[in-house]
């Protein structure tokens, strides 16, 4: 009997990334329809931007592009019926949220936590870089936030996030969200989500 394999797609994102928000909110139901298993892979864009010579988001470095991005995101969220409110501070440090997500993705609440972070940040203009907010976002999952936060700051998780960021860079990832299929095809941007799922389903 042939082995049954389910096609997979890696979803690389940074909690600081604006277009990662609609991608994170849409990907699960679209993947079910496409028959594809998605792996959430948080990483940090900061080191990758630094390697390109940027010390902040290109949306801040190039104001015309930044103004456009916020308007575009607002229109996009309206079309998708997603809440949208521009945060006062951008980009937010995403290190803590990414580490907590890695803890959760090894358990059962990781994806729901990721969506909660994005909703708080870009749907409600909240801060996501302090322990109190992260603890509040963990409440629905019936786990001890203090245990999770301690684990998130442990050496294995810190190393894991550094390794994931390096892996992203080695895959040729230069922005977020990015999608990578099992056969190594890279798709960049929320606009490429459906195309990436189609490719993943074909690639098997």
Q: Which is nearer to a copy of itself, 68 or 140 (CB)?
A: 68
Q: Least distance to a copy of itself from the beta carbon of 106, Å?
A: 29
Q: Which is nearer to a copy of itself, 63 or 156 (CB)?
A: 63
Give how far the C-alpha of residue 4 lies from the chain's centroid of Cα atoms, to the nearest Å. 29
Stretches 2-10, 72-80, 85-93, 139-147: which one binds a copy of itself (CB under 8 A)? 72-80
Distance, in Å, from the CA atom of 14 to the CA atom of 42, rounded to the nearest integer, reads 6
Q: What is the DSSP letter of 37?
A: E
Instruction: State the residue for tokens 């979803």.
Output: 11
Q: Which is nearer to a copy of itself, 71 or 108 (CB)?
A: 71
**Options 52, 60, 86, 159; binder of a copy of itself; rule CB under 8 A:** 52
**Options 50, 71, 108, 146; binder of a copy of itself; rule CB under 8 A:** 71
Distance, in Å, from the CA atom of 201 to the CA atom of 36, rounded to the nearest integer, reads 6
Phi/psi-derived region of residue 37, left when phi > 0, alpha when psi is between -120 and 50, beta in every other case? beta
**Options 62, 83, 150, 154; binder of a copy of itself; rule CB under 8 A:** 62
SS3 percent helix, strand, coil of the chain, rounded to 5, is 60, 10, 35
Site for a copy of itself in 139-198 (CB under 8 A): 172-175, 186-189, 191-192, 195
Q: Which is nearer to a copy of itself, 60 or 107 (CB)?
A: 60
Q: Which is nearer to a copy of itself, 136 or 192 (CB)?
A: 192
Q: Least distance to a copy of itself from the beta carbon of 198, Å?
A: 10
Q: Which is nearer to a copy of itself, 71 or 162 (CB)?
A: 71
From the number of C-beta atoms within 10 Å of its C-beta (0-12, 13-18, 19+), residue 54 rates as: middle
Residue 178's H or E segment, with its range, is strand 178-181
- Supply 198's token pair: 């189609």
202 binds a copy of itself (CB under 8 A): no
Distance, in Å, from the CA atom of 197 to the CA atom of 167, rounded to the nearest integer, reads 21
- Which residues here bind a copy of itself, judged by CB under 8 A? 52, 62, 64-65, 67-68, 71-72, 75, 79, 172-175, 186-189, 191-192, 195
């Amino acid at each position: 009997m042939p082995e049954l394999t389910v096609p997979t797609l890696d979803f690389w994102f940074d909690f600081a990334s604006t277009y990662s928000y609609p991608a994170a909110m849409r990907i699960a139901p679209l993947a079910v329809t496409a028959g594809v298993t998605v792996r959430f892979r948080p990483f940090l864009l900061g080191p990758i931007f630094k390697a390109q010579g940027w010390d902040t988001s290109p949306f801040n470095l190039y104001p015309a592009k930044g103004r456009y991005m916020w308007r575009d995101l607002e229109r996009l969220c309206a079309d998708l019926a997603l809440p949208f409110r521009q945060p006062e501070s951008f980009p937010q440090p995403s290190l803590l949220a990414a580490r907590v997500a890695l803890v959760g993705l090894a358990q059962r609440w990781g994806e729901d936590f990721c969506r909660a972070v994005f909703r708080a940040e870009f749907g409600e203009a909240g801060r996501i870089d302090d322990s109190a907010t992260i603890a509040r976002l963990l409440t629905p999952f019936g786990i001890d936030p203090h245990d999770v936060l301690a684990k998130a700051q442990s050496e294995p998780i810190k190393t894991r996030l550094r390794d994931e960021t390096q892996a992203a860079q080695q895959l040729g990832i230069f922005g977020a969200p990015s999608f990578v299929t099992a056969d190594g095809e890279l798709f960049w941007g929320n606009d490429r989500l459906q195309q990436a799922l189609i490719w993943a389903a074909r690639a098997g």
